[in-house]
Structure 1
């Protein structure tokens, strides 16, 4: 049977040169939500590149799990590789299996317990620094805590304050600019414009800082219990004694973890706090849970199995505001999707909100309903209905790390504080490269007593 050439409907609103950049950046969730109304496979324009967005879970699952055919590439990952290197999150199919085997020991459950100690300390320190009746910028505060956590788990026994001072501004610059650069022609990105010079300077600062720290740890030669020590020491059984990661490969893995490890956690917990403000019944249920389990102390990793409501709130925040909201892949061979023929070189956009907010997949998809993740309700969902961490062999290696940190942060905050939306807040999503964060989420702190 000859399949029809893919002639998918085109999403409205494309402009010359920049394509759908304006609606994707200005109102990403509304744009993604409307794609499913156009069809099961919809074309969007990423600058001058035509990309197909699967809006049905089974189609998205096929793209995520058949990573040989739907390989990482296209406007997003081309920019990522040029900026933060060829780490496990961005490398092509042919390199991924080896890289995944080599970094997997860093996320072993035994190691995660050690990282969780750092997460617990940073969560307690964050909340302990908040003062009664003071308005805090939730995302900025959480980003600082998450960046401190990822740097401490990467580089143990280092001056964390100095590392945060060195890395925070460059990380924020890279996260803000990568999405915009997906829509800008490469020629314009090479011009000596101020924005390009600032971006190049930020990338250079990140590379130099990480190279210095990796070189210092490799010279030390001991396992300090941190992520980089594991990356330095690990060997691939399939490649023998010499099958470890080279310095440039370690650098790329670390840069990927630093860039993605802070903003996704900060954004997820920020959105959870925002959603709880508008749903006091869920907030009350969450407070009852943490009061019963924690009894006034900070949350620890051993408490997580006893915090199912907290985990459901985090999961629902991830469904509504998924961090990995717009990634691209490119077909490596002739294939089909939704009954259409896709020739090699076709760009496919993995846009989780297009499925997460599809009313044919999730009932009342725009409603915050953590109980939709009760086992008896979630059991009937098809594969691909929840893709906040991707799927298949390329599912995010740091999923357990991110979920653990998010749960510890949220439960510690809820146990100690009640937060109220303060004047001046603007919760419209800002499209970062690896997350959707609230533009300005100001929350007034009230200490909980009882």
Structure 2
């Protein structure tokens, strides 16, 4: 069990320190002049961060001249995420992400978030997600139909293509043409690597120099912005010809009030809670200055960029990690195949099948625990505050890592073990609040969590019903941390599989958590 040394030298289990007022605050070991801990954080960020909980509950890291505080205990992370007035979006990562996403829903400050969330929320109501599921299923089927027996796929690229088809199909009623989809994928890879570099090594003026790397980043970013501008212009010219997510977004006004500044959270126990409980503030607390105002062109640009980046890359990487883990755990793969055979009986999955694809959902959830795409995120204090007994000045950067939290053996016994049954209802309830955060928590929790889980479960079931993906070799796959956590290339061979005689009754419970 992980443990920390309290202020008085008392050794307390991680996760229990806050109940005894024995928080420990320390500085990360090592570091060099000028760069601080930037080099280990750039070269081996997962190993570096995962080692820091052994040094305390709140650990200081130096990135050049800046100091960043890593919150290692779930209770501290919950304190941060559930208090957006004190801990606002910001820090090196978000400052760099704004170059890509603008002032969209993910990157905007708290004061802009209320309006943006109100405008975007109608796009993600449960009834709309159910509508999208039909489009998702059709696009997934079309993507998988192109695979051939014996074909070698880079599963990471294949999932990027599949997710791009789904996201653009739901978002814009049409898929990107193959050439444009490849262009978007290549640009995203270049941009996200550049984002991590600029966040970890914050040497602003150097990134203005015309080096080959800087030019590649600038070209890729300009191309992405150009694609988004073209989509917005086309839709503004014909606003009544579509009934899709983008049409809902462009038609929304602040009269659609489903969110306010109150926190929203699953409590960290089950990351696939699909409830939408957003209290509506009384009229006196509502902002009247922007009532019934639709998105401006710039706001539409930033939101569309946000939905494309978040909708394509994060879900694709979650699926890629899922297939990698299944290839290393054949018994879990067999259980998944049995469930797909029994529930689907040879037909494509639809929204009505989701409650019965319980094992598929648990497999995706466990993959998100082991390899969360959003592996490290930051907040900035808006006022002087206290965290773990430490006074933090206004403007202090606080970091939390879902990857680090998800590896805690107190919350997740044997955390390196791929165990989808952790998420059976009778076991999921024992996960401490705030320990599982693939979609964050509070009112800044990912607005597309239900969308992403629906897409991932439908895709996993559709592929499992038809194909078995076999790795070319038993090579070790190491996570590639950029702005999101990628497995890198995953070459696998497509092996067709038929439905078992009699449906192959599953040997797993089918209730969804």
TM-score bracket relative to the smaller structure: over 0.9
2:488 maps to 439
What secondary structure, in the 3-state scheme, does the structure 2 residue paired with 1:257 have? helix
Q: Among residues 145, 155, 164, which one is paired with 1:128 in the alignment?
A: 145
Note if 1:287 corresponds to 2:304: no
Structure 1 residues 368, 231: closer, same or farther in 2, change over 3 A? Answer: same
1:194 maps to 212
Give the CA deviation at 1:166: 4.5
Structure 1 residues 343, 182: closer, same or farther in 2, change over 3 A? Answer: same
2:407 maps to 357
Give the CA deviation at 1:426: 5.0
Structure 1 residues 424, 286: closer, same or farther in 2, change over 3 A? Answer: closer
What secondary structure, in the 3-state scheme, does the structure 1 residue paired with 2:492 have? strand
> What are the Cα deviations for residues 367-386 of structure 1, in whole angstroms up to 9, with x where unaligned?
11111111111112222111
1:225 maps to 243
Note if 1:64 corresponds to 2:113: no
Contact 1:425 1:440 in 2 (8 A): no
Contact 1:18 1:48 in 2 (8 A): yes
2:392 maps to 342
Q: Among residues 144, 168, 178, which one is paired with 2:185 in the alignment?
A: 168
> What are the Cα deviations for residues 393-429 of structure 1, in whole angstroms up to 9, with x where unaligned?
0000111111111111111111111122213855211
> What are the Cα deviations for residues 179-230 of structure 1, in whole angstroms up to 9, with x where unaligned?
1111231111111111111111111111122112112212212161222211
Structure 1 residues 152, 212: closer, same or farther in 2, change over 3 A? Answer: same
Aligned pairs for 1:314-333 (under 5 A) are 314-333=364-383
Give the CA deviation at 1:22: 4.1
Structure 2 gap segments, 5+ residues each: 1-20, 256-287, 501-513
2:124 maps to 107
Q: Among residues 122, 143, 153, which one is paired with 2:160 in the alignment?
A: 143
Distance in 1 between residues matched to 2:147 and 2:114, nearest whole Å? 44
Aligned pairs for 1:250-261 (under 5 A) are 250-261=300-311
Structure 1 residues 127, 382: closer, same or farther in 2, change over 3 A? Answer: same
Note if 1:79 corresponds to 2:96: yes
Note if 1:49 corresponds to 2:62: no
Q: Which has the larger radius of gyration?
A: 2
Structure 1 residues 402, 15: closer, same or farther in 2, change over 3 A? Answer: farther
Q: Among residues 309, 322, 326, which one is paired with 1:272 in the alignment?
A: 322
Aligned pairs for 1:227-246 (under 5 A) are 227-237=245-255, 238-239=288-289, 242-246=292-296
Distance in 2 between residues matched to 1:267 and 1:25, nearest whole Å? 20
Contact 2:140 2:166 in 1 (8 A): no
Contact 1:214 1:228 in 2 (8 A): no
Distance in 2 between residues matched to 1:367 and 1:280, nearest whole Å? 14
Note if 1:375 corresponds to 2:393: no
Pairs aligned (count): 445
Contact 2:166 2:175 in 1 (8 A): no
Aligned pairs for 1:293-304 (under 5 A) are 293-304=343-354
Structure 1 gap segments, 5+ residues each: none
Could you tell which deviates more after superposition, 409-418 or 8-17? 8-17
Distance in 1 between residues matched to 2:137 and 2:33, nearest whole Å? 49
Distance in 2 between residues matched to 1:95 and 1:341, nearest whole Å? 27
Note if 1:214 corresponds to 2:225: no
Distance in 1 between residues matched to 2:43 and 2:371, nearest whole Å? 15
2:115 maps to 98
Contact 1:65 1:393 in 2 (8 A): yes
Q: TM-score, normalised by structure 1?
A: 0.93
Structure 1 residues 338, 263: closer, same or farther in 2, change over 3 A? Answer: same
